[in-house]
Chains A and B, each alone.
Chain A
Amino acid sequence: MGSARATIGGIEGSLRIQVEVDSGVVSNVRLRSQRPVNSGTLLEDRPVQDALDLLPRIFSLCGVAQTAAGLAAVENAKEVSLTPPQIAARNIMVAAEALEQTVWRIIVDWPTCLDIQPDVAGIRDLRRLLRSLEGCMFKTARWNRIGGSQLAPEPIKLAEIIDSVALEATRIIFGDSDTRLADYACLERWLRQGGQLGSSVLHYVRNNGLEEFGSCAVEQLPKRPDSGFLAQQLANDADWSFCAQPHYHGNIFETGPLSRLADHPLVLELRGRHGNGLLTRLAARLVDANELVANMRSWVDELCEDRGATANGVDGCGINVIDTTRGVLVHWVEIADDTVKRYRILAPTEWNFHPRGPLTQGLRGADAWAGEALVKNAGLLISALDPCVAYELDIVEH
C-alpha cells in the first residue's frame, strides 16, 4: 500500500510553472497542474437533481456556468428538449457571470501583474446589477431545474438592468460609457485617451515591444467541437488522464476568446499584425466584455413566459459543451436509476495550461529580459490565458 495523502490545499490545487532561462532566452518551460480534475466524483451516487444542486456550492467563480453545463448534460442524457426562452435565460445567466469574471481580470488581475494598484471595489455595483437579472427572469428561486424553471420575465426591467450593466461595465473598463472596440482605429483612439487600468496595461505591452510576446503555433479549439469525440474520451476516462491533459483528435488546442472572437475585426487585424501574442490576447478579452453585453441584449428579446419541460426517469449518458469566459467547458454524465453513476468535467484551464499547450509553447524561445520583467510579462500571458486557480511562477537562470 502506498503512503500518498491528499491535503485540503491539494484539493484546491494550483499551477506550478517553472521557466528556465539560458543566455537571455527562455530555454524550457515546465508546467505542473495540481488541479482536482476528479471533482466530478462529488456528484456520483447521488440523485440527479441533488447532484445538480451541488454544482454552485462546489465552484466559487463559475458556479453558474458549471450548473448550466451540468443541467444541459443531464437533459441530453434524458432526451429533454429545452424551449428557446429557457435556453435564452440560461445564456443570460452564464453571460452575466462571464462578464463579472472578465471585468475582474481586466481591473484586478492585469494591473496586479504589473504592480499597479488594482480596483477590487470598482466591480461592486456591476456585480449587484448582474446578480439582479435572475430575479427578473425566473418565477421560482431555483433556476437549475431539469427541463427549465418557470419563466416570468420582466422585459422592461431586464432591459433597464442590461442598459445599466452596459454603462457600468464600459465605464469601469474604458473610462466612459461610449467606448466600443469595434476595430483597430477604436483601440488606437482609446489608448490615446489613456488613464484606465486596462489601457495602462496595453501601453506597457506596446512600450516594451511585447505585442508578439507569447505567440505560438497552438491552434484554437473549434467553437463547437465534436461532442461525440469528447463523449467517447470522457466515457473511457477511468483514470482521469483525459480530463487532466485533453487532446482533440490527438492534437493540443487552446480555447477562449481568441476562438470565440476569431471573426471580430479588431481581433482579425491584431492577429494579422502580431499573431496570437500578448496584445491580441489582451485586446480579445476587452472585446469580449463588449460582446457579452450585446449578447445579453439579444437574448432578452427571446424571453417569454414558459413553464419548462417535464423531467422524466430516462437513464443514459449525456454531454454538454458550453462556451464560458475561459473557453470551452464540457460536462459528461452517466445516469442509471435517476442517480449519477459517473460524472466528468473537462475545464478550459486544462486546454490552456496543458504541459504542451499555448503557455509553454508561447514562452519557450521568448526573450527573457531581466528576471523581474520576465515575471511581469509571463504573468500577463498567464492572466491573458486566464487560469481559474492560483499559480506559482518560478524563474530558473542557468
Chain B
Amino acid sequence: MCLAIPSKVVEIHDGMVIVERFGERLEVTTGLLVEPLAVGDYVVLRARAHVVAKMEPQTAREALTLFNELAEKLADDLESKSDHEAA
C-alpha cells in the first residue's frame, strides 16, 4: 500500500539522483528505469529509496491534487480526534 506520491528530480550528478517532494529531499536509485531521467521529471518511489516509474507531468499534477486532499482529510481526522480527547 505504498502511495504513488510524485517526486520531482531536482539534481543529477555523478550517477546520483536527488528528488524532492513537499520540501523533503531524497537520494534515490534509478537502476530499474530503462529511460534516462532529466531534472524536472516526475517519478514514483518505492520505500523512499528507489525510482520505480517515471510519471507524466499532467498525471503528477493530478496525483498531487489527490494527495493534498488526503493530507487535508488526515488533518481533519486528527483535529476531530484531538477535539474528542479534549472534550
Q: Using CB atoms and an 8 Å cutoff, list the residues of chain A in contact with chain B.
A: 1-12, 35-36, 38-39, 41-42, 54, 57-63, 66, 104, 108, 120-121, 123-124, 127-128, 239-240, 345, 347, 349, 388-390
Contact = CB atoms under 8 A, between A and B. Distances in A.
22 contacts: A2-B78, A2-B82, A5-B75, A6-B75, A7-B71, A11-B5, A36-B3, A38-B73, A38-B74, A39-B3, A42-B69, A57-B62, A60-B52, A61-B52, A120-B31, A128-B34, A240-B77, A388-B1, A389-B2, A390-B47, A390-B48, A390-B49
A388 B4 CA distance: 12
Given A9-B24, A123-B32, A347-B1, 20 more contacts: A2-B78, A2-B81, A2-B85, A4-B75, A6-B74, A6-B75, A7-B71, A8-B5, A10-B71, A35-B1, A41-B73, A42-B69, A60-B3, A60-B44, A60-B46, A60-B53, A61-B52, A104-B46, A124-B31, A345-B1
Question: 9 tightest CB-CB pairs across the interface, nearest first?
Answer: A2-B82, A120-B31, A4-B78, A60-B4, A6-B74, A8-B22, A121-B31, A347-B1, A6-B75
A36 B47 CA distance: 15
B86 interface: yes
Contacts of A3: 82
Nearest to B46: A61
A389 B3 CA distance: 9
Contacts of B47: 389-390
A131 to B, nearest CB: 11
A354 B77 CA distance: 21
B11 interface: no
Interface string B1-18: 111110000000000000
A393 to B, nearest CB: 13
B39 interface: no
A4 B66 CA distance: 20
Contacts of A1: 79, 82-83
B4 A41 contact: no
Contacts of B45: 60
B59 to A, nearest CB: 7
A36 B52 contact: no
A39 B70 contact: yes
Residue of A39, A60, A240 with most partner-chain B CB within 10 A: A60
Nearest to A389: B2
A35 B63 CA distance: 18
B75 A11 contact: no
A108 B45 CA distance: 14
Nearest to B85: A2
Contacts of A39: 1, 3, 70
Contacts of A123: 32
Contacts of B46: 60-61, 104
B7 to A, nearest CB: 10
Contacts of B48: 12, 390
Which interface residue of B48, B74, B83 has the most chain A CB atoms within 10 A?
B74
A320 to B, nearest CB: 15
Interface in B28-54: 29, 31-32, 34, 44-50, 52-53
Contacts of A239: 81
Given A12-B48, A38-B73, A390-B48, A7 B22 contact: yes
Contacts of B4: 57-60, 63
Contact of B22 (A9, A36, A61): A9
B32 A36 contact: no
Contacts of B29: 120
A128 B71 CA distance: 34
B3 A11 contact: yes
Contacts of A57: 4, 59, 62-63, 66
A98 to B, nearest CB: 14
A182 B34 CA distance: 34
Q: Among A4, A7, A127, which residue has the most Cβ atoms of chain B within 10 A?
A: A4
A54 B33 CA distance: 24
Given A39-B70, A60-B46, A4 B1 contact: no
A69 to B, nearest CB: 11
B79 A2 contact: yes
